[in-house]
Amino acid sequence: MRRWLAVVGIGEDGTAGLNPAARTLIETAEVLVGGARHLGMVPQGRAERIVWERPLRVTFGAIEAHRGRRVTVLASGDPMWYGIGVTLTRRFPREEMTIIPQPSAFSLAAARLGWPLADCATITLHGRPLDILRSYLAPQRRILILSEDGDTPRAVAELLNGLGWGPSRLSVFAYLGGSREAVIEEEAQRWGDRRAAELNTIAIACRAGPDARALPLLAGLPDDVYEHDGQLTKREVRAATLAALAPLPEQTLWDVGAGCGSIAIEWLRGGEGRSAVAIERHPARAAMIARNAASLGVAGLRIVLGTAPQALEDLPRPDAVFIGGGIGAGGLLLKAWESLPPGGHLVANVVTAEGEARLLYWHARHGGTLTRIAVSRAEPVESNHLWRPLASVTQLAAIKLG
């Protein structure tokens, strides 16, 4: 089928800023789709007009009904950078689409500030929790943010202040690229209650205050950043466990018997594009996982309340499985192993003799690597220090070969 569906990025300067190809796709469209603001930039013509509805799938159905006609969707800036183009390519075959971008809000903001765009962290808070910003904070880091609305800059400033990053400088750009373009620049700690224009982009030059705590993205966060009830994979063992899971971009983890969620949380913090499911049978611990995920910037962690292996049904297929609890459940190891694709990683940690016996039995039949992890920490005793051993952990790590 010919490419009947076009996605055209349009900026605040409207159709005047479009190249000839983009302008032609708009002028010759039989159906125009977009928000009221974008449709208002295009002079009235003979094309039928469809305004985005909520939920978006309603409008997708309307677009599908016009398959084969000349349909042009208007998008903000670059449709493939947190834009509607990403969603449309998941719904319609790429071979049936033409996508023409304009400079994104990120590109324009970086140009105004003289920031190398490739060195900036770029995120959107449109329809996403504010807490995701937490995992991006680091000294001297530059962050570009697509706002939800005019209250977003105030909410960002409040979060920065609460975490000790009040000296960070905010540059809030309104209507980038248009005749109404304006910028407000202020430290987060001085932002106050002011509200920005509804359409705005935020730039943060991160500066740590004396109370700020910068947390690394590598595995092995300090134990005290987690709320837990004792069911916590300790820092040294956690780092070794993530190394054995060998996470890669776009991969999915099952964290079975997740406890306080530390393995799944650090799997997500270590790289964008990954996903994770934390499976926990205790409601109080599941709530604790949710609080830890929010406070550590991975509020998108999926939490399943249930008992494995039954709770594993209908989950997205994993690339890696970690079993930190419930190893005694009948069929759990087999279910986890069968769920993995070739090349998938299975890692299980146990501290009891009974749990170790199960891993030994499994290892004898399926192979893998067994490791004993023993850690001692020095603790003060009067004027001296004494080594206090943590419970030794037996770890099974196996890679599925086909």
- The pLDDT tens digits for 293-340 are 999 999 889 999 999 999 999 999 999 999 998 898 888 999 999 999
Among 102, 117, 138, residue at a domain's last position: 102
Rounded percentage of the chain residues whose pLDDT exceeds 70: 100
Q: Tell me the pLDDT tens digit for each residue of 167-220.
A: 999 999 999 999 999 999 999 999 999 999 999 999 999 999 999 999 998 999
Query: Is 22 within the bounds of a domain?
Result: yes
Residue length of the chain:
402
Domain membership of residue 26 as a residue range: 5-102
> Are 230 and 366 contained in the same domain?
yes
Shared-domain flag, residues 26 and 71: yes
Query: Does residue 325 sit in the same domain as residue 347?
Result: yes
Q: Taking CA 61 as the corner, what is the angle to CA 60 and CA 64, rounded to the nearest 5 degrees? A: 85
Tokens of residue 298, six digits: 């991975």
Q: What is the CATH number of the domain that holds 354?
A: 3.40.50.150
102, 135, 150: which is the final residue of a domain? 102
pLDDT tens digit string along 113-133? 999 999 999 999 998 999 999
Residues 371, 275, single domain; the answer is: yes
d(CA 40, CA 36): 6
Q: Please indicate, yes or no, whether residues 118 and 78 belong to a single structural domain of this protein.
A: no
DSSP string, 319-335: SEEEE-S-TTSTTHHHH
Name the strand (E) or helix (H) holding 26.
Answer: helix 20-27
Residue ranges with strand state E in 2-149? 5-10, 31-34, 48-51, 71-76, 97-100, 121-124, 142-146
Does 336 reside within a domain? yes
> What's the whole-number mean pLDDT along residues 78-96?
95
**Average of per-residue pLDDT across 346-352:** 96
Q: Which residues contact 16 (CB under 8 A, 6 or more apart)?
A: none
CATH of the domain at 90: 3.40.1010.10
Residues 341 and 235 in one domain: yes
Q: Are 271 and 356 found together in one domain?
A: yes
In a domain, 215, yes or no: no
Could you report the per-residue pLDDT of 18-44, keeping only the tens digit for each?
999 999 999 999 999 999 999 999 999
**383 and 325, same domain (yes or no):** yes
Q: Are residues 376 and 315 in the same domain?
A: yes
Does residue 217 sit within a domain?
no
Among 143, 175, 205, give the residue marking a domain's end.
Answer: 205
Co-location of 182 and 85 in the same domain? no
Calculate the average pLDDT of the chain: 95
| pTM for this predicted structure | 0.91
The total number of structural domains in the chain stands at 3
Confidence grade of residue 1 (pLDDT, cut at 50, 70, 90): low
CATH number at residue 123: 3.30.950.10
Same domain, 368 and 238: yes
In a domain, 213, yes or no: no
Q: Model confidence over 144-153: pLDDT tens digits?
A: 999 999 999 9
